Structure 1
Amino acid sequence: MLPCDPPETPIDASTRRSTPAARADHRFPRWITIPGAGLTGHSLEKISAALLLLFTVIALVWANSPLSTGYDEFWESSFDIRAGDVVIQMTFHSVVNDALMAFFFFAVGLEVKREFAIGELTDRTRAVVPIIAALAGLVVPAGIFLLLNPSGEDARAWGVVISSDTAFLLGALAIVGPTFPARLRVFLLTLAVVDDVGALGAIAVFYTEQVDLVPLVISVVLLGLVVLVRFLPVGRGPAYTVLSLLVWLTLYSSGVHPTLAGVAIALVIPVFPPRRREVERAAELARAFRQSPSSEYAAAASRSLNDSISANERLQIVYAPYVSFLILPLFALANAGVRLDQETIGAALGSSLTWGIIAGLVVGKIVGITGATALVRRFGLGQLAPGLTVARVLGGAALSGIGFTISLFIVDIAISDPLKQSEARVGVLAASLIAFVLGTLAFRIIDRVQPASTIGRTLIRPIDPDRDHIKGPADAPLTLVEYGDFECPFCSRATGSIDEVRAHYGPRLRYVWRHLPLTRVHPHATEAARASEAAAAQGAFFTFVPLLFARQDRLETDDLLSYAVEAGLDVDRFSHDLRSVRSANRVDDDALDAEIMDLGTTPTFFIGSKRHQGPYDAQSLIRALDASLEASDDDRSR
């Protein structure tokens, strides 16, 4: 019997869930065109990191070429913006750092709010380790920097070392390509969100010198109006645009750094999981438009589609490619142009500011993140995800020393002396390079110590009666674990084998189901798996599962809801649990376990904790189980 076709690449549940463009690729029909949606999460990260690196090199070459005077002259060229008696004078450099970077912080704010509202950080037990590690990754680097720069203007630049560059960090992880990076990627994304919150707080509290209360109060009132925009029947897009521009202008006038307007607006944008009522309404209008094409139906269907997904997620999808592929490269071009002449290099080599930045980002991130992770595990405050070790966290912590974007941003607002700015930028660039090299070396050593060939032979996560779906006594002497897919016909046939195996052993066997949805070949597998978890929340997992296997060609959302009715479940609760973070995390946990173990086909069986190789008909499984029982008896008799 042949297994289901494996996916073209290993299962990566974290990529599917954690990047806006990756989420877009799964959320929208193929006929909707979204910039960047055709790329995978890892491809987007590699391209974004490559563009940042390219424009950094261009800036360095430009600033150190015969045209170097043109670099400073161009970015310091000024122009006026006039509105009646109000005049705002800006340079091209301030347009990038004060205006365009507001979009970057807007995108960061959207991601932060989403993660705390419906994403990874809603599960507090899952988030505790990376949150504590991130806090240590803020405090320890700042402490190391201040040890080397305890006073004077240099001490004011402590904020330069607290934040990692998320785009470079994830791009570097994709480029380094450690074995099975998905768990580490989820950990680093969670860490990066907390890291960004800390950096934004530092900018707001410590790098705002003088505040004019009148425009600040006006900006707060305008933010209140932004909150009310969600209740407008039409014209919400233009309203958000006009009010956001006014908030930026008033914050700029108040003395608060205007990029924080992006964060403030993002935090009041609504976010919620897709709502069943709006989704069904959108489907009804789409059918009506198909039957009777008209501008009225088209407009109504378009509005209904928009209403079915929160403004937060729509805006992430729209802005993420432009931030990654346009704004951040322009920021690198405007800020990375350090003149690397003998005088600058000599000053940097003897500067405690430069060495404080290097030590803070490189040493501080490694010590803070890795040390906090080890301590949290040691004292039982939290647990790392299966397959994620302190050694792998150390590799990720080394890469976290890449503090490019926000570090350079804080250099510009924390240091006024141009010579000191150059020393600080040399420190940021050197630290980012060292961090990448150290992270690469760390992962090469880790992968050599734990070769990929040894992975997948043993079940990485022990059976947990409080979490796993188990048939049979929890303390049975024999264990059979299946990683399966509800849309895979071979899993359905294997279920028949399982029934025969269970009948043969009776109470001596416990059977355990874990999820491995092969989404590239089975588009409804993930939804079906989440539905089974929604049924499990009502104690009906093994009642619901046979309905999924019996009707593998009908696994749309409406079908799943009808099966809930047939199984006698509370449908409203089932519908809510189907969309919950808890159900998604349960499925993604199993899928990430499967990736770490290099499982690419379904069904895959484990006899006890050892992977079963060979046929999985009833008699083959019985022979394998008997052999494992004999081996355990021999071990006990010795």
Structure 2
Amino acid sequence: MKMTKLFSQFFESEKAGGIILVFVTLISLCLANSPWQTQYISFWHNTIGSHSIVDWINDGLMAIFFLLIGLELEREIYHGELSDIKNAALPILGAFGGMIIPAGIYLLFNFGTATQSGAGIPMATDIAFAVGVLSLLGNRVPTSLKIFLTALAVIDDLGAIIIIAVFYTKTIAFMNLAIALGIWVALLVLNRIKIHNLIPYLIGGILMWYFMLHSGIHATITGVLLAFAIPFSHGDEKSTSYILQDFLHKPVAFFILPLFALANTGIALGNDLGSGLTHSNSIGILIGLIFGKPLGIWLFSFIGVGLGLCTLPNDLKWKNILGAGFLGGIGFTMSIFITLLAFDDEQVINHSKIAILLASLIAGSIGFVVLKLTLKNE
């Protein structure tokens, strides 16, 4: 399989971004448990206008991250791995299993409790971290595995977006939602009449974001909707979609996601750390990400191939899919994002974040070892 130029750029930016995310997360944890703990944690809660810094990051800048995800998903659907249903079926089924099984495991421990709303937390995969770990294996990684993992993570993110919209919306201001959707329809019309200038789409996207923010539905959904309104044309280097996606790679990988990590991983590790990790919520996250993710991804992929719904690439073996499944257990960005929507209790949020970081570290390490061993002579 030959990777397109834009996919290669996307993969490379995510690879470097994953390394940076590890670095800034370590810095954030160190500062949050240093003599500057109070000043560091309180800094992110300073207000600019009517919102705190962390809110501007989570509700505003992350919409740009979702815009990039949407643009990549659109490209995958039209020209990439998802453009052929036979090829797309394998990562689609893997992603579906990687969401259903972890959520089921989480609910086994938390159904009927105050934390059952966290079922979406172990369903997520962090593209930057997963691709970053995969890149450490160098040239031994076949292109088909890179494409499988990236497509799976993109589909996973789409699933997370749907889950956020459906299950983490508490109240809806229908007038604001109608205005936001009306703006989206207007942008779709601009696309239809072949207006390729990016400016009206960006202005419309900002207005749509404002009304979506005040509608009760999470404002980051705007990013995905905007992505599908921006003209794709033939998908070449002159297309509006290509130009924007190419431009967004570096700001997202090297500024937005690291800033999100800094703002949301400043966790003070108190004396209750041990008891926090033994809570049903933390156990659900840990088992869901470390074991549920690889089990779901591998099992659903295996069943899909067995039923003839998809095929396993010739240069891959099932043990490679298992290794990629463990990398899918690196939740981080999306898992933390869903945590912030699922819970209001600061202690539960912190314990969830710690469980996510620990599970992501363990799952990523296992995935790296499995792939290092299974790809050694291939």
- TM-score bracket, normalised by the shorter chain, equals over 0.9
1:98 aligned partner:
59
Query: Are 1:414 and 2:342 matched, yes or no?
Result: yes
Deviation track 1:125-175 (CA, whole Å, cap 9, x = no partner) reads 111122111111110010001111112231101111111001111111001
2:248 to 319, 327, 333: 319
Q: Which amino acid aligns with 1:208?
A: T
- Counterpart of 2:136 in 1: which secondary structure? helix
Query: Are 1:58 and 2:27 matched, yes or no?
Result: yes
1:402 aligned partner:
330
Deviation track 1:263-286 (CA, whole Å, cap 9, x = no partner) reads 1111222213257xxxxxxxxxxx
2:147 aligned partner:
186
Instruction: Rate the CA distance shift 1:45–1:262 in 2: closer, same or farther, 3 A.
Output: closer
Query: Are 1:67 and 2:36 matched, yes or no?
Result: yes
Partners in 2 of 1:246 and 1:180 — Cα distance?
A: 43
Partners in 2 of 1:234 and 1:394 — Cα distance?
A: 45
What is the correspondence of 1:96-495 to structure 2 with a 5 Å cutoff? 96-177=57-138, 179-230=140-191, 236-273=197-234, 309-343=238-272, 345-448=273-376, 451-452=377-378
Instruction: Rate the CA distance shift 1:447–1:189 in 2: closer, same or farther, 3 A.
Output: closer
Report if aligned partners of 1:211, 1:256 keep a CA contact under 8 Å in 2: yes
1:629 aligned partner:
none
Report if aligned partners of 1:370, 1:397 keep a CA contact under 8 Å in 2: yes
Q: Which amino acid aligns with 2:45?
A: E
Partners in 1 of 2:172 and 2:20 — Cα distance?
A: 36
- Counterpart of 1:13 in 2: which secondary structure? coil
Query: Are 1:45 and 2:6 matched, yes or no?
Result: no
Q: Which amino acid aligns with 1:207?
A: Y
- Counterpart of 1:342 in 2: which secondary structure? coil
- Counterpart of 1:340 in 2: which secondary structure? coil
Q: Which protein has the larger Cα radius of gyration, Structure 1 or Structure 2?
A: 1
Shift of 1:446: 1.6
2:45 aligned partner:
76
Report if aligned partners of 2:18, 2:133 keep a CA contact under 8 Å in 1: yes
Partners in 2 of 1:390 and 1:199 — Cα distance?
A: 26
When normalised by structure 2's length, the TM-score is 0.95
Deviation track 1:272-329 (CA, whole Å, cap 9, x = no partner) reads 3257xxxxxxxxxxxxxxxxxxxxxxxxxxxxxxxx7322111100111111110000
Q: Which amino acid aligns with 2:239?
A: S
Instruction: Rate the CA distance shift 1:61–1:380 in 2: closer, same or farther, 3 A.
Output: same
Report if aligned partners of 2:282, 2:351 keep a CA contact under 8 Å in 1: yes
What is the correspondence of 1:526-545 to structure 2 with a 5 Å cutoff? none
1:531 aligned partner:
none
Shift of 1:232: 7.8
Report if aligned partners of 1:153, 1:415 keep a CA contact under 8 Å in 2: no
Report if aligned partners of 1:370, 1:393 keep a CA contact under 8 Å in 2: yes
Shift of 1:235: 8.9
Partners in 2 of 1:233 and 1:197 — Cα distance?
A: 26
Instruction: Rate the CA distance shift 1:235–1:412 in 2: closer, same or farther, 3 A.
Output: same
Partners in 1 of 2:216 and 2:304 — Cα distance?
A: 40
Q: Which stretch of the first structure deviates more once superposed, 400-409 or 144-153?
A: 144-153
Instruction: Rate the CA distance shift 1:383–1:238 in 2: closer, same or farther, 3 A.
Output: closer
Shift of 1:233: 8.6
Partners in 1 of 2:291 and 2:355 — Cα distance?
A: 13
Partners in 2 of 1:72 and 1:444 — Cα distance?
A: 38
Root-mean-square deviation (CA), in Å?
Answer: 1.9
Q: Which amino acid aligns with 1:433?
A: L
Instruction: Rate the CA distance shift 1:339–1:403 in 2: closer, same or farther, 3 A.
Output: same
Report if aligned partners of 1:365, 1:401 keep a CA contact under 8 Å in 2: yes
- Counterpart of 2:337 in 1: which secondary structure? helix
Report if aligned partners of 1:14, 1:183 keep a CA contact under 8 Å in 2: no
- Counterpart of 2:316 in 1: which secondary structure? coil
Q: Which amino acid aligns with 1:407?
A: S
Shift of 1:181: 2.8
1:18 aligned partner:
7
- Counterpart of 1:14 in 2: which secondary structure? coil
Partners in 2 of 1:178 and 1:162 — Cα distance?
A: 29
Partners in 1 of 2:166 and 2:368 — Cα distance?
A: 35
Partners in 2 of 1:446 and 1:234 — Cα distance?
A: 49
Partners in 1 of 2:72 and 2:114 — Cα distance?
A: 33
Partners in 1 of 2:215 and 2:331 — Cα distance?
A: 28
When normalised by structure 1's length, the TM-score is 0.57
What is the correspondence of 1:554-593 to structure 2 with a 5 Å cutoff? none
Q: Which amino acid aligns with 1:202?
A: I
Q: Could you tell me which runs of 5 or more consecutive residues in structure 2 were left unpaired when the two chains were aligned.
A: none
- Counterpart of 2:140 in 1: which secondary structure? coil
Deviation track 1:530-559 (CA, whole Å, cap 9, x = no partner) reads xxxxxxxxxxxxxxxxxxxxxxxxxxxxxx
Flag the structure with higher strand content: 1
Partners in 2 of 1:370 and 1:182 — Cα distance?
A: 19
Matched residues, percent identical? 35
Deviation track 1:592-638 (CA, whole Å, cap 9, x = no partner) reads xxxxxxxxxxxxxxxxxxxxxxxxxxxxxxxxxxxxxxxxxxxxxxx
